[in-house]
Structure 1
Amino acid sequence: MAGPPRLTPSPDSAHPGGGRATIFDVAEAAGVSRQTVTRAVNGMPGISAATKQRVLAAAERLDYRPSRFGRGLVTGGEHQLGLVVNDLRNPYTPQLASAVFRLAAEQGWNVMLADVDLSSDADRMVQALGAQTDVVIGYLGSRRHRWSELLGSVPMVELDPSAEPTTAAVRMDPSAAIEDLADHLVTAGVRHPVVLDHAEPDRTSARGVLLMDALHRRGYLPELVRVPHPTAESGAEETVAVLARRRRLDAVLAFNDVMALGVLQACRRAGVDVPGEVRVVGVDGLPLGSLVSPTLTTLAVDLDAVAREALDLALGMLAGELPRHGAAVQRTVRHRLLLRESA
């Protein structure tokens, strides 16, 4: 096991006293000193790989996890929550983080934040986060399996997984809202929509697939434009390019609200009336969308609900009331179509 062992003992724990295993129990079971256990569970140098594996196996068998307090990590609160996010420069991220911080505070939790996109060593940051917290919540993406190994048996709640989750997870499902949006576009007389998707050149995001499918089923032949960065700058740049080659464009459906704000900027600079000539739609429901002119139509998700579901799962797993994976720890928060001036 590559990460920190479990927080609390299970009913079949090998700890002879039947209570919470201590560092001395692990040392005795592995036949090493207390200092060697400390080195092994915290990934410190100075011991062989074989010894480290023996210690971690004993810790796993005893369901042992080192105390935060014993490592001088006392910061108050009953629990420490680790939050993994992608990029604090994206307005979506602090919006989500504020929801998690606020609801965690109500539960008496402290929150430690790790921005893995801005880190020079994301793996090390995630491993350190797991060593200092009781549960980790956040966006894991394509690195989920590696980080699961680094976190060991620290409970994890993945947010918006792009594939079948291997841990507890809170899905954000825009499918029903996308169907409502597609129906609205038909009613509004839209004929030539463009989907600005955030994806690699030869791939389409799950969100992009849903948008394209809903439009195809209604007889549209939308253009799909893949954008490498989900930023306002990218949204504006791609919109300029699309406008230059396709003046019949009458709707732009952006991957997120931030890109949609870039679309609005590009249309304004090009003298294109929104929504008279082109309707613009984003995804996320950020408060920023209500502050621009025209106000931004969006597929909104309740980030407070996302944070609430994630924290409920975390509490349930820590209390031993929920398993660490499976259908019992899968929750879904759905988007809704929020019609504003831009569409």
Structure 2
Amino acid sequence: MAGPPRLSDGDELSGRATILDVAAAAGVSRQTVTRAMNGMAGISVATKQRVLSAAEALYYRPSRFGRGLVLGGEQQLGLIVDDLRNPYSPELAAAVVRVAAARGWNVMLADVALSGDADRMVLALGAQTDAVIGYFGARAAEWIGLLGSVPVVELDPAGALTRGAVQLDRTEAIDAVVAHLVAVGVRAPIVLDAGRPVGRTARAARMVEAFATNGIDAHVVSADERTAESAAEATLRILAAGAPHDAILAFNDLMALGVLAACGAAGVEVPEDVRVVGVDGLPVGTLVTPTLTTLAVDLDEVATHALELAVAMIDGSAPRSGAAVQRTVRHRLLLRASA
């Protein structure tokens, strides 16, 4: 009889391992696997380690339902966001809940920006869910390591991919808005970047590149934080400096709202004196005056791709990493009054 599937270096398990696979690989009974995985007494340290090593090699994860961590048969999806004070995060969460509910999934949310102990929150989320999706940022490697065998789908990953991912591609939308701005006479644009310790964000660099392709130098200014307040302060400094500027492209919509507020306070007319652009496509952009031009993303599409990838990773129809568990969602230009 053939043994359970085994992994060589760099290989991924194509099917989801069972407790019987782990038992066969470790040369023990099913009951012994249960004891080892749940930290129960009655087995030696060496046997426990052999079982845990086999489980790790097979990407085995015991059922939450078997451990009695939830009631009923609903599957649980973990969602990591980086700041609920940014309207983008609640909009994303609402989209994930809508898509998950249609498939009979529940959603558990963790805000790592507002948590006093983000590591503990990520670890707890992984223990209580069947898969985790969301924004991992610069700590992706650490948190994916904490999640162990839990299927993970990163949203808009910043670094090298080690699990599933939904990429957000702004390239075409940035090219479109830059082409529009150049066509209407913009010659001294400013890219208002998000605060970061070193260098520009990839988003700001792409905007600068798009202007350069059109023969225009865009000046980059960094706000201290990705907030409306910080963006407003940075905008007031820009206006006070007196340098020529006829467009401000903000890192996100929240910062763009801060730009609009600062322009209003300084008596600068938008779009007559300066054109303003955001990124995200938040509904609040239609409620301000002038309405906000933005590079929008369909969050329902993002949520759908993320959940589909998570399900495929769980049921074994897709590997735990690689091209098969990557999707791309593209932004689109929504041209409104501010530009």
| Contiguous gaps of at least 5 residues in structure 1 | 1-6, 28-33, 41-46
1:91 paired with 2:87, answer yes
Distance change (3 Å), C-alpha of 1:267 and 1:61: closer
* RMSD (CA atoms): 2.6
- Greater CA deviation, 61-70 or 207-216? 61-70
SS of aligned partner of 2:39 = helix
Distance 2:294 2:239 in 1: 21
Q: Once the two structures are superposed, what CA deviation does each residue of 1:241-260 show, in whole Å capped at 9, x if it has no partner?
A: 00000352110000000000
Amino acid corresponding to residue 109 of structure 1 in structure 2: W
Distance 1:136 1:22 in 2: 30
Match of 1:195 in 2: 191
Distance change (3 Å), C-alpha of 1:22 and 1:143: farther
Match of 1:277 among 268, 273, 278: 273
Match of 1:26 in 2: 33
Structure 1 residue 164: Cα displacement: 2.9
Match of 1:316 in 2: 312
Amino acid corresponding to residue 291 of structure 2 in structure 1: T
1:106 paired with 2:106, answer no
Match of 2:303 in 1: 307
SS of aligned partner of 2:23 = coil
Match of 1:241 in 2: 237
Match of 2:151 in 1: 155
Runs of 4+ in 1 over 3 A off after TM superposition: 14-17, 47-55, 61-64, 75-78
Amino acid corresponding to residue 15 of structure 1 in structure 2: A
Amino acid corresponding to residue 233 of structure 2 in structure 1: E
Q: Once the two structures are superposed, what CA deviation does each residue of 1:183-227 show, in whole Å capped at 9, x if it has no partner?
A: 101111011110000142531101011001111111112110112
Structure 1 residue 15: Cα displacement: 3.5
Match of 1:81 among 71, 77, 85: 77
Amino acid corresponding to residue 106 of structure 2 in structure 1: N
- Greater CA deviation, 65-74 or 172-181? 65-74
Amino acid corresponding to residue 247 of structure 2 in structure 1: A
1:327 paired with 2:333, answer no
Distance 1:52 1:342 in 2: 63
Amino acid corresponding to residue 313 of structure 1 in structure 2: L
Match of 2:52 in 1: 56
| TM-score, length-scaled by structure 1 | 0.87
Amino acid corresponding to residue 100 of structure 1 in structure 2: V
SS of aligned partner of 2:278 = strand
SS of aligned partner of 1:282 = strand
Distance 2:228 2:138 in 1: 24
Match of 2:9 in 1: none
SS of aligned partner of 1:117 = coil
Match of 2:65 in 1: 69
| TM-score, length-scaled by structure 2 | 0.88
Distance change (3 Å), C-alpha of 1:293 and 1:115: same
SS of aligned partner of 2:230 = helix
Match of 1:225 among 221, 224, 227: 221
Q: Once the two structures are superposed, what CA deviation does each residue of 1:114-149 show, in whole Å capped at 9, x if it has no partner?
A: 111111111111111111111110111111111121
- Verify the 8 A CA contact 2:22 2:60 in the aligned structure 1: no
- Verify the 8 A CA contact 2:19 2:33 in the aligned structure 1: no
Matches for 1:123-162 after TM superposition, within 5 Å: 123-162=119-158
Q: Once the two structures are superposed, what CA deviation does each residue of 1:17-72 show, in whole Å capped at 9, x if it has no partner?
A: 9xxx9972415xxxxxx2x53238xxxxxx99988754521432565423323443
- Verify the 8 A CA contact 2:20 2:30 in the aligned structure 1: no
SS of aligned partner of 1:266 = helix
1:181 paired with 2:177, answer yes
Length, aligned pairs only = 322
| Contiguous gaps of at least 5 residues in structure 2 | 1-14
Distance change (3 Å), C-alpha of 1:57 and 1:213: same
Match of 1:255 in 2: 251
